[in-house]
Amino acid sequence: MITSSASGLTRRAFIAAGAGLALSPACTVPAAAASQRVAIVDWALLETCLALEVTPLAAVELVLFRRIAVEPAVPDSVVDLGLRGSINLELLSGLRPDVIYGSSFNLWANDLLSRIAPVRMLSVFERGVRPYRKAESAMRTMAAELGVPDRADAYIAALDSELAATKAQLAARTDRPVLIINIGDPRHFRVFGEDSMFGEVAARLGFRNAWGARTSYSATAPVGLEALAKVPEAIVLVIAPIPPDAAAALPQSALWNAMPPVREGRVHMIEPVNPFGGLPAARRFARLFAGAIEAAA
């Protein structure tokens, strides 16, 4: 069966995870006095801006962001620009931002965005490059450009301290490798490798990634459930949400229940985290990861 990071996960909680419900309240983030009118079309940069206590004028796909990324909290004043893949350019133009922050994920829209305001590209994810240091660089760059460099220094120092403390806390738990996955459907999952933000944080905490193959842009999908038989000793961490059809089917799936990590109670669910996030996602994942590993012990 799947368990949560704190206690046994009931069928009701399994279904709730399938619905993508956050299981803890998001933190509140104060507004900042930054004078620039900032629009953001990348979630990692939205996280970063909010962590710097700067409230952007507008950002993309906020309903899903609040469900998947969860934190930092997005103030109600931030205007939702619609889907990341279909940005409401007319609305954005009417807001008259001073600068638009984006990444390589938004290259398709650059020409259109640049007609509205200068576009600042800060990419955290790049093929073949681990993202943690790039997320640090993005935070420092954004903080300098928004006039709050000390906030980046303080945030990064606090996160370094938290990771060091968590690594020490979990030092006796690193005997088993970890497999970090999202459930895609009743028969497939996506796996996060060493080059993902999740995988890199786990490595920084002293854990070996059970998925030996390199991934592409952080994750490999789809992978059949039977692949769990290849990592019989692993602790499997399932990042919520789970699609409703999978949440309903997996508890009764003979294939799922036959897999060694499932059969032996080493599958744990953690609350949603943005898989393509910046340092705030790394911070949230580290906290939830530690809770799951302690529960697995």
User: Do 61 and 125 share a domain, yes or no?
Assistant: yes
Position 29 in a domain: no
Are 49 and 132 members of one domain? Answer: yes
Residue 223: partners with Cβ closer than 8 Å, 6 or more residues away: 181, 188, 189, 190, 191
What is the dihedral sign for C-alpha 135, 102, 20, 211? negative
Angle between helix 197-204 and 149-169 (nearest 10): 60
The answer to the question of residue 167 being in a domain is no
- Beta-carbon-side half-sphere exposure of residue 111 (alpha carbons within 13 Å): 1
Q: In this structure, is residue 214 part of a structural domain?
A: yes
20, 240 contact by CB (below 8 A)? yes
Choose the final residue of a domain: 161, 190, 206. 161
Nearest 5°: the CA angle 154, 152, 124 is 135
Classify each residue of 136-169 as buried b or exposed e, where b means 16 or more C-beta atoms within 10 Å of its C-beta.
bebbbbbbebbebbebbeebbeebeeebeebbee
> What's the CATH code of the domain at 189?
3.40.50.1980
Q: Say whether both 64 and 116 belong to one domain.
A: yes
Contact 2, 9 (CB under 8 A): yes
272 close to 240: Cβ distance less than 8 angstroms: yes
Domain closes at, from 139, 161, 183: 161
Q: What pLDDT, on the 0 to 100 scale, is given for residue 20?
A: 43
Asked if residue 238 belongs to a domain, the reply is yes
pLDDT at 218: 62
Of 126, 141, 161, the position where a domain reaches its end is: 161
Say if residue 127 is in the same domain as residue 179: no
What pTM did the predictor assign? Answer: 0.87
In-domain check, residue 33: no
- 3-class state of residue 1 by DSSP: coil
pLDDT of the residue at 4: 41
Q: Quick one: 137 and 218 in the same domain?
A: no
What pLDDT, on a 0 to 100 scale, did the predictor assign at position 129?
A: 86
In a domain, 28, yes or no: no
For residues 109 and 197, membership in a common domain is answered with: no
Based on the domain organization, do 201 and 290 belong to the same domain? yes
Asked if residue 203 and residue 255 are part of one domain, the reply reads yes
Domain count of the chain? 2
Phi, psi of 272 (to 5 degrees): -60, 145
* Contact of 118 with 96, CB cutoff 8 Å: no
Does one domain contain both 73 and 182? no
Give the pairing of strands 58-59 and 235-239.
Answer: unpaired
Q: Give me the pLDDT at residue 296, please.
A: 80
Q: In terms of residue numbers, what domain contains 268?
A: 2-22+173-296
- Residue 48 sits at the vertex; the CA angle it makes with 88 and 238, to the nearest 5 degrees, is 90
List residues bridging with 265 in a β-sheet. none
Q: Does residue 289 belong to any structural domain of this protein? A: yes
The answer on 183 and 271 residing in a single domain is: yes
Do 207 and 228 lie in one domain? The reply is yes
> Per the domain annotation, does 239 fall within a domain?
yes
Do 237 and 155 belong together in one domain?
A: no
Phi, psi (deg, nearest 5) at residue 162: -65, -45
Residue 171: exposure state from Cβ atoms within 10 A (0-12, 13-18, ≥19): exposed
Per-residue pLDDT of the chain (297 residues; tens, 9 = 90+): 444 443 334 444 444 455 443 333 333 333 333 478 999 999 999 999 999 999 999 999 999 999 999 999 999 999 999 999 999 999 999 999 999 999 999 989 999 999 999 999 999 998 878 999 999 999 999 999 999 999 999 999 999 999 999 999 999 999 999 999 999 999 999 999 988 999 999 999 999 999 976 666 566 778 999 999 999 999 999 999 999 999 999 999 999 999 999 999 999 999 999 999 999 999 999 999 999 999 887
Cβ neighbours, 10 Å, residue 112: 13
